[in-house]
Amino acid sequence: MKNYKIGVIPGDGTGPEVVREGLKVLEAVAQKAEFHYETIVYPFGGEYYQKTGETLPESALEEFRKLDALYLGAIGHPEVKPGILEQGILLKIRFRLDQYINLRPVKLYPNVWTPIKDKGPEDIDFVVVRENTEGLYVGAGGFLRKGTPDEVAIQESVNTRRGVERCIRFAFEYTRRRNKRKKLTLCGKTNVLTFAFDLWERTFYEVAKEYPDIQTDYAHVDATTMWMVKNPEWFDVIVTDNMFGDIITDLGAMIQGGMGIAAGGNINPQGVSMFEPIGGSAPKYTGMNVINPLAAIGALAMLLDTIGESEASQMVENAVIKALESGKIKSMSAGKMGLSTQEVGDLVASWV
């Protein structure tokens, strides 16, 4: 029997509460699908930083490399200056473990409210493949004459042929494996970002030749946000750069029912991947047992799929759907679910 080593970073705010429910579902599915696992819990986050002055030590990264996967709750603390934990923990793990794909499904489940009128689960079901190690996120650039009236701030987007190609290739493979509408849309800005997206566009159509079964499409990022609201059914898989992917997946989270249900995976197909609910640490709901754990449970399903337990992954997703179909969860929003965080976790676990 397989025995997986799963690193768990509950993190800040409501992170530990949602992770607890995810682990509850993991225990239920491990019994049914017959695999073993071991969890190694790491203390990193805002409180750990305040106590030790350390965000993420080098030794932890070395340990992470030996895991099968990482499961993250949330990072972000109201008393820590914005940027420190994000860069020191979240982005550091993404970059250093070379998790070059950020996979973010936008799927409206039954009984989940969407702000888009007249659209249902059959219309809202696509996946964003966001490049996760390059672009504007690399921190290239700097200041000149900082603090003077002549100040200059430059922040460059770094796009390498290798980085762009591996992301695009993953997206084509994923579209094929997903086997739905078999359509891949490149989301860019070729009319203005004439260097970066020239590289993306050329690479996209070159790689496309190897995938004659996949229909290709292109949309500028601004138009993409428009279509996501007006005709979300046009999308199957969208591939895009780091910054655009960040922005459009918040919009995606909203049309699939909100942060309470949006999950994502930071994937290194050859290495160790990390799965997380997309939402933040929600400090004002901390410890109240009212936060929605479905995003964390969805992230667990993605984790299982990536480590090779696709049947177990499907069982978790089906359990989420059953729990939603039961009508017992009144809303995806914190405090409005009609059930507590733990009760939602129990409900899903009971359907596994």
Q: For ligand IPM, which is the closer residue by CB, 87 or 190?
A: 87
CB of 67 to ligand IPM, least distance (A): 20
Q: For ligand IPM, which is the closer residue by CB, 246 or 309?
A: 246
Rounded distance, CA 316 to CA 307, Å?
14
What are the strands of the beta sheet with 237-240, ordered from one edge?
Answer: 36-41, 3-11, 69-74, 273-277, 263-267, 101-107, 125-131, 237-240, 183-188, 215-220
- The half-sphere exposure of 156 on its side-chain side, counting CA atoms within 13 A, is 8
CB of 61 to ligand IPM, least distance (A): 18
Q: For ligand IPM, which is the closer residue by CB, 86 or 311?
A: 86
CB of 185 to Mn ion, least distance (A): 20
The residues near 271 (Cβ < 8 Å, ≥ 6 apart) are: 65, 97, 98, 99
Answer with the entry of Mn ion, ligand IPM, none that 72 interacts with (C-beta below 5 to 8 A by kind).
none
Residue nearest to ligand IPM (CB): 86
Question: CA separation (Å) from 98 to 61, 94, 123, 342?
Answer: 11, 6, 33, 34
Q: For ligand IPM, which is the closer residue by CB, 299 or 347?
A: 299
Binders in 233-252 for Mn ion, by CB under 5 A: 246
Q: For ligand IPM, which is the closer residue by CB, 251 or 321?
A: 251
CB of 91 to ligand IPM, least distance (A): 6
CB of 205 to ligand IPM, least distance (A): 27
CB of 242 to ligand IPM, least distance (A): 7
Token pair, residue 272, equals 């160790």
Query: Token match 């250093």: residue?
Result: 96
Answer with the entry of Mn ion, ligand IPM, none that 352 interacts with (C-beta below 5 to 8 A by kind).
none
Residues that bind ligand IPM (CB under 6 A): 86, 90-91, 246
CB of 246 to Mn ion, least distance (A): 4
Answer with the entry of Mn ion, ligand IPM, none that 233 interacts with (C-beta below 5 to 8 A by kind).
none
Q: For ligand IPM, which is the closer residue by CB, 247 or 321?
A: 247
Rg of the chain (C-alpha set): 20
Token pair, residue 327, equals 């009508």
For residue 135, what is the DSSP state?
A: E
- Compute φ and ψ for 246, nearest 5 degrees: -60, -45
Answer with the entry of ligand IPM, Mn ion, none that 90 interacts with (C-beta below 5 to 8 A by kind).
ligand IPM
Rounded distance, CA 28 to CA 172, Å?
33
The residues near 336 (Cβ < 8 Å, ≥ 6 apart) are: 330
Q: For ligand IPM, which is the closer residue by CB, 91 or 303?
A: 91
Answer with the entry of ligand IPM, Mn ion, none that 86 interacts with (C-beta below 5 to 8 A by kind).
ligand IPM
Q: Contact positions toward Mn ion, by CB under 5 A?
A: 246
